[in-house]
């Protein structure tokens, strides 16, 4: 009888503890949302002509560090960037605000820029054209504190990209460089990474038949995470279906990769989905996050990233939390860059058509 009461006590305690933990996490997510909105508004006032998504991305850099955006520092760093790189450099243009923000957060902005430049030049060896995604890849390596290991990481990245191209020539392109760099920085061997990536893709591709490129990016994200690939795939599909059941379809294009971040949260799938939808609804009424600035799917993606970072930080080891946050930032960077590049291309086509 006593043992039964003890067991019941532990069950009730665990349930109450879980609710307390969720309340704490929900508060943390809302605090991150408020800080993101505040930083975005500060950056918007200082850089009104910049792309709206790039403003959010720059703001996220400060949220990652728990700091309030410093417009004066960003502008000082932008002057350094413009002094060292011409207007035709891939470190300028669409990347300028983001890189200037990252510089402003570093202890030594000039050295940080020099490290990025040197790493980017290494990534460019043998390439004819420059690349926004290789700039972001250089940022990933330097932000991970691995600039000194860049030669080894880049060599492994090339191995992975070649293996991916061999397996899926129509799915692998320049956009995959960032996630390939993340995969290269894991402890897994190139052979094991490519094997797991292929198994993951075969498991998941039928769920997204018309979005194979996005599905392949999602599989790359899942492969960066620890755990059995089948379990990760099953939870990812369950999450996607649960969003649909809740009446909120998760984006199947550039947003899809961010879905993989939620698989690391040790919580019921429906609770995770409810948390993300609630966070997206909270952001919806904030300036910079309503329909004038981004689609419902993009807002949902940012909400998923904020939730993933909060919960993973609580439930995983500090190293796993850092890894998850890094993946989240890379996905945000790629997603924002994709939208900006597509918008720029559309604008160029419109201008060209109008002039004819």
Taking the alpha carbons of 348, 41, 306, 91 in that order, is the dihedral positive or negative? Answer: positive
Please name the helix (run of DSSP H) or strand (run of DSSP E) that holds residue 130, with its range, or none: none
Q: Which residue ranges make up each domain of the chain?
A: 186-356
Chain centroid to CA 55 = 15
What is the C-alpha to C-alpha distance for residues 93 and 87, in angstroms, rounded to an integer? 7
pLDDT the model gives residue 94? 83
Cβ within 8 Å of residue 262, ≥6 positions away:
236, 239, 272, 276, 304, 307, 308
Q: What is the pTM of this model?
A: 0.86
66: left (phi over 0), alpha (psi -120 to 50) or beta: left
Residue 349 has which token pair? 């086509």
pLDDT the model gives residue 349? 38
How many helices and strands in the chain, by DSSP H and E? 14, 0
pLDDT the model gives residue 12? 42
pLDDT the model gives residue 247? 94
Neighbours of 338 (CB within 10 A): 17
Residue 106 has which token pair? 């570093």
Cβ within 8 Å of residue 178, ≥6 positions away:
133, 136, 137, 140, 330, 333, 334
* HEC per residue, 207-255: HHCCCHHHHHHHHHHHHHCCCCHHHHHHHHHHHHHHHHHCCCCCCCCCC
pLDDT tens string 233-287: 999 999 999 999 999 999 999 899 999 999 988 889 999 999 999 999 999 989 8
pLDDT tens string 293-342: 888 999 999 999 899 888 765 444 444 445 666 787 788 778 777 777 66
pLDDT the model gives residue 21? 40
pLDDT per 10-residue tile (average), the chain, 356 residues:
50 42 64 94 95 91 92 97 94 91 95 96 92 92 92 97 97 93 93 97 94 95 92 96 95 92 91 94 91 90 89 51 68 76 50 43
What is the C-alpha to C-alpha distance for residues 171 and 208, in angstroms, rounded to an integer? 14
pLDDT the model gives residue 165? 97
Angle at 178 between CA 177 and CA 179, to 5 degrees: 95
């Amino acid at each position: 009888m006593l043992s039964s009461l003890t067991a019941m006590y532990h069950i009730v305690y665990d349930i109450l503890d879980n609710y307390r933990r969720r309340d704490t996490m929900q508060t943390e997510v809302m605090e991150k949302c408020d800080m993101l909105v505040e930083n975005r508004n500060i950056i918007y006032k200082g850089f009104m002509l910049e792309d709206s998504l790039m403003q959010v991305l720059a703001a996220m850099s400060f949220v990652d560090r728990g700091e309030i955006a410093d417009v004066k520092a960003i502008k000082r760093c932008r002057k350094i960037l413009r002094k060292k790189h011409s207007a035709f450099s891939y470190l300028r243009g669409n990347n300028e605000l983001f890189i200037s923000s990252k510089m402003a957060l570093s202890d030594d902005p000039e050295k940080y820029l020099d490290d990025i430049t040197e790493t980017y030049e290494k990534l460019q060896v043998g390439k004819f054209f420059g690349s926004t995604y290789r700039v972001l890849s250089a940022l990933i390596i330097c932000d991970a504190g691995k600039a000194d290991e860049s030669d080894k990481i880049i060599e492994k990245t090339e191995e992975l990209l070649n293996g991916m191209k061999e397996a899926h020539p129509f799915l692998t392109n320049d956009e995959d460089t960032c996630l390939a760099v993340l995969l290269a920085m894991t402890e897994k061997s190139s052979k094991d990474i490519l094997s797991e990536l292929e198994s993951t893709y075969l498991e998941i591709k039928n769920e997204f038949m018309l979005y194979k490129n996005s599905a392949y990016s999602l599989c790359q994200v899942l492969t960066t995470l620890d755990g059995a690939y089948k379990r990760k795939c099953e939870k990812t599909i369950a999450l996607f279906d649960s969003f649909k059941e809740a009446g909120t379809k998760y984006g199947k294009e550039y947003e899809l990769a961010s879905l993989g971040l939620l698989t690391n949260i040790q919580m019921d799938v429906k609770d995770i989905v409810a948390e993300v939808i609630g966070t997206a609804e909270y952001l919806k009424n904030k300036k910079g996050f309503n329909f004038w600035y981004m689609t419902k799917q993009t807002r949902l993606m940012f909400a998923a990233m904020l939730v993933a970072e909060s919960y993973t930080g609580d439930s995983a080891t500090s190293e796993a939390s850092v890894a998850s946050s890094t993946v989240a930032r890379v996905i945000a960077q790629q997603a924002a860059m994709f939208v900006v590049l597509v918008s720029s291309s559309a604008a160029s086509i419109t201008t060209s058509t109008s002039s004819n």
